[in-house]
Each structure stands twice: as C-alpha cells, then as structure tokens.
Amino acid sequence: MAIIFAFLMFLYGVCIGSFLNVCIHRLPKGESVVTGGSHCPSCGGKIKYYDLIPLVSWLVLGGECRLCGEKISARYPLVELTSGVLFVIVFLRFGLSWETIYFAFLSSLLLFIAVVDGENGIIPDGALAIAFVGGLAFNIYRGNILNYIIGFFAASLILYIIALISKGGLGGGDIKMMAAFGFCIGWQNIIMALFIASLIGSAVAVWLMAVKRVGRKYAVPFAPFLSAGIFISALFGERLLTWYVGLF
C-alpha cells in the first residue's frame, strides 16, 4: 500500500511541478498564471492539451515545439521530475499526515524559489509571503510558536551581519528567505539549513573555480543552496543533529 501511495505522491508532485513551470516562466515577467493558455516560449503558439502531459509530452516531442520545432528547455521536465521526487521523499518521511501536506507545500515553494533565483537572480517576495502565512497556520496547529518566532530571526540576522560586513556580498532576498522559512521550520532547523547551504555552496564554488575557471568574484545565486539546506534540515534536521552529537 505504501508503494501505491508513494507512486500517487510522485504523480501529484509531477503535476505540481508542471504548474511551477508556468509560475517560473510567467511570474518574473509579470504575467498572470490564471489567464492565458499555455504557449510556446519561442513562437508563442498555443500548446494543445495533449502536449501538456507532464514529463511525457516533452519526451514524446523530443524536447521540441510541435509548432515551430524550436528546442524546449530541459528545465521543464527537470522541474517536474524534481517535484515528484521531493513529494515522494516527504511522504516516505512523514507518511499519511498533515506534515506531509505541509512539507510538500514548502518543497514546492523552495523549488520555485531556487529555479527563479537561478534563472533570474531574484527571490519573489510573494513566494516568501505565502511561506510565512503557511508557516503561521501550521505553527498554530503544532504549538510552541516561540520556537518559530526565534527561527524568524536566527539565520536571517546572521546573514544580515554577513551582508553588512561583506558590503553587499549577500542579497536582501536571501535574508528575507531565511526569515520566512525560519518561521516555518524553527530556529534549530534553520541554523542547520544555513550550515548545510554553506557547505553545498562552498563545494560548488570550489568546483566552478577549479573546473570552469571562474574568478572569486563570480556571482552564484545562493537561493538554490538555501532551498536545498532548508529541505534537508526540515525533514532530517533532528536525525542529523543526533548523528553529529554522537560523533563526540
């Protein structure tokens, strides 16, 4: 039965990923995600319903638009696949529970923010506001609201101090992101998320300098790493902390 539910969660996550692709493409341009049918990014032609099946349509069409033959970015199936995998991981961690719904919701926001920042260098305030409101609702349900209020300030203050010292080395969006999600997952988890994000970001930066030969001043969007850190910490923070303490 668990396998069936996991498969259903994957399908649901893939469908949510398809909607996220619409948001990723339109919202940074100020376009509505409610009005206006799906269209090719290259020729603007209207896409038929049978070419909108998540994952499948892109593979069947060979990653090309049926109308104009232009390549369709691999980002579309990758976002859909990633969303499906994230939903399965959340389900395997929490099972059939309110936590699964909540953290699947957060994972969608994190994926959206990561891709938008990676492509456009911005972190939409609207996504952070939605995260905050969702966190408020769920924290009232869970209780211990003080933990999440402290979480709002914990990592965001650290990043704010770093931004002051580095004179703009970090963007304001990163600070606001850690505040919003700190309120969603609590102070201990958000501190660990910042630590994990820093490790991943440092590893990628070293790789870029060694392989791609980029300079130290090469700007790398930080939100994708923050998103990864928040997701890992939110689901496995307590276990990671227990494992780490057990090393000493």
For the beta carbon of residue 95, count every other beta carbon within 10 angstroms. 11
Distance in angstroms (rounded) separating the CA atoms of residues 39 and 56: 17
- With CA atoms as reference, report the closest residue to 224 among 120, 113, 84: 113
Q: What is the DSSP string of 154-206?
A: HHHHHHHHHHHHHTSSS-HHHHHHHHHHHHHH-HHHHHHHHHHHHHHHHHHHH
Mean pLDDT over all residues of the chain? 91
Q: Which of these ranges, 35-39, 140-144, 240-244, has the smallest mean pLDDT? A: 35-39
pLDDT in tens, 226-235: 999 999 999 9
| pLDDT number for residue 35 | 76
pLDDT in tens, 101-123: 999 999 999 999 999 999 999 99
pLDDT in tens, 195-206: 999 999 999 988
Mean pLDDT of 186-209: 93
Highest mean pLDDT among 210-214, 229-233, 244-248: 229-233
pLDDT in tens, 158-185: 999 988 888 767 889 999 999 999 999 9
pLDDT score of 243 more than 90: no
Query: What is the residue extent of each domain of the chain?
Result: 1-96, 123-248
Phi, psi of 40, deg, nearest 5: -70, 130
Instruction: Provide the CA 50 distance to its chain's centre, in angstroms.
Output: 28
- Conformational region of residue 121, where left means phi above 0, alpha means psi within -120 to 50, and beta covers everything else: left
- With CA atoms as reference, report the closest residue to 108 among 132, 126, 84, 91: 84
Q: Which of these ranges, 44-58, 97-111, 225-239, has the smallest mean pLDDT? A: 44-58
CA 191-103-96 angle, 5° bins: 135
Percent of the chain past pLDDT 70, that is, above it, reads 98
| Dihedral sign of CA atoms 44, 50, 54, 58 in order | negative
- With CA atoms as reference, report the closest residue to 65 among 85, 45, 87: 45
Alpha helix segments (H runs only) across the chain: 2-26, 56-60, 75-94, 98-120, 125-142, 145-166, 172-185, 187-207, 223-245
